Amino acid sequence: MQIYDQIVEAIASGKLEEGTTLPSARRLAVDLGINFHTVNKAYNLLRERGFLIMNRKKMFVVQKSKDEKFIENLKNLEEKLINEAIAKGMSENEILSILKNVLKKTKKGDSL
């Protein structure tokens, strides 16, 4: 999941642009000093969730595709998080303020 998160973050921040071919699972594994299977699993999860796609050469390539399933899932997770925040006694404005800050911060990395 750490690899997964880092790759998602790299895509979001623009460090990995759409169409970029990732290093092979074996290669990245060696570079990171971890096992091939671990990288492979992360790559496959990213593919399942639509962040990567495999090209004709069987390499993984960055892809940006917003699908219905993802948005539905996003809403559910957000609902849980926001429920917790409200249950903690936070006001609507407080929550919105935090959300906007996170969004701005993440978006700022985007333009780098």
Partner DNA sequence: GTGGTCTAGACCACC
Partner DNA sequence: GTGGTCTAGACCACA
**Residue 18 main-chain phi, psi, to 5 deg:** -60, 135
CA pair distance 85, 81, nearest whole angstrom: 6
Query: Does 51 interact with a copy of itself (rule: CB under 8 A)?
Result: yes
In angstroms, give the least distance from the CB of 87 to DNA: 19
Query: Does 54 interact with a copy of itself (rule: CB under 8 A)?
Result: no
Q: Which residues from 24-53 bind DNA, rule CB under 7 A?
A: 24-27, 34-38, 40-41, 43-44
Q: Considering beta carbons, is residue 5 or 72 the nearer one to DNA? A: 5
Tell me if 51 sits within 8 A of 12, measured CB to CB: no
Lookup result for tokens 């642009």: 17
Query: Does 38 interact with a copy of itself (rule: CB under 8 A)?
Result: yes
Lookup result for tokens 């609902």: 79
In angstroms, give the least distance from the CB of 27 to a copy of itself: 19
Sign of the torsion angle spanned by Cα atoms 85, 88, 89, 94: negative
Question: Where do contacts with DNA occur on this chain (CB under 7 A)?
Answer: 1-2, 24-27, 34-38, 40-41, 43-44, 54, 56-60
